[in-house]
Structure formats: C-alpha cells, structure tokens
Amino acid sequence: MSSNALVERHHPAPDSASGGAESTAELARQVLAQLRGELQPVPRLLDQPAAWRYLGLSRSMWFRLRAAGELPDPVRVPGRKLPMWRVEDLDRWPRRLKPAR
C-alpha cells in the first residue's frame, strides 16, 4: 500500500478552513508513528531455514552449496545448539558469485 493511500485511509485530508499547516504537521506525526509500528527490524542473525529463504535459495540448493563450501561460515551462539548466519555475511555472498555466460 502506498504511503498516500495509507494517509488517506487513516486520516482524511483536512478541509482548508481547519488549521492548514498545524493539521498537516500533526497528520505527518501520526503517519510516521503508524509506519514505525508497522516496520519490523531485520534480524542480525538467521537460523538455517531463514538464511536460505533470505538468499532466495531452495532447501536442496542451500545444502548443495553448503556441502561444496560455497556459503558463508555459520557462527555459534552460546546457548544455541544450531548454527546461525550473520545477515551481513549473507549480503556479501552474492558478490562472490561468478557472472553467468
């Protein structure tokens, strides 16, 4: 949904007789507050299924690349048995790929 549609859906445009700049500033504050509540932070560490989805890989391709040593190394988080992958390592991974011919 576009931000204009979001604004119009939740906050009808003020008529010109009622406040002008003050109501526009208030409207902007309300919209920003709502958008902040809707946005979710990107996690810094991903488990294995989240990592392959993040890269847009199938499960089988993930395991094939992992067995070949083509993926970033995972990290161990104290208290967790399963490995995790850093998002920044996953973001750098596509740059190491060779271009298609």
Residues 29, 45: Cα–Cα separation, whole Å: 32
The residues, ordered by sequence, that sit 6+ positions from 22 with a Cβ below 8 Å of its Cβ are: none
- Kindly tell me if the per-residue pLDDT of 101 is higher than 70: yes
Q: Domain check: are 50 and 88 in the same one?
A: yes
10: containing domain: 3-38
Q: Is residue 70 part of a domain?
A: yes
Q: Is residue 87 part of a domain?
A: yes
Q: Domain check: are 55 and 28 in the same one?
A: no
Whole-prediction pTM:
0.55
Residue 93's alpha-carbon distances to 21, 66, 87, in angstroms, are 48, 12, 10
Hey, is 57 helix, strand or coil? coil
- Count structural domains, the chain: 2
Q: Domain check: are 14 and 32 in the same one?
A: yes
pLDDT tens profile 30-43 = 887 777 766 666 66
Residues 54, 8: Cα–Cα separation, whole Å: 33
Q: Is residue 73 part of a domain?
A: yes
pLDDT tens profile 39-89 = 666 669 999 999 999 999 999 999 999 999 999 999 998 998 999 999 999
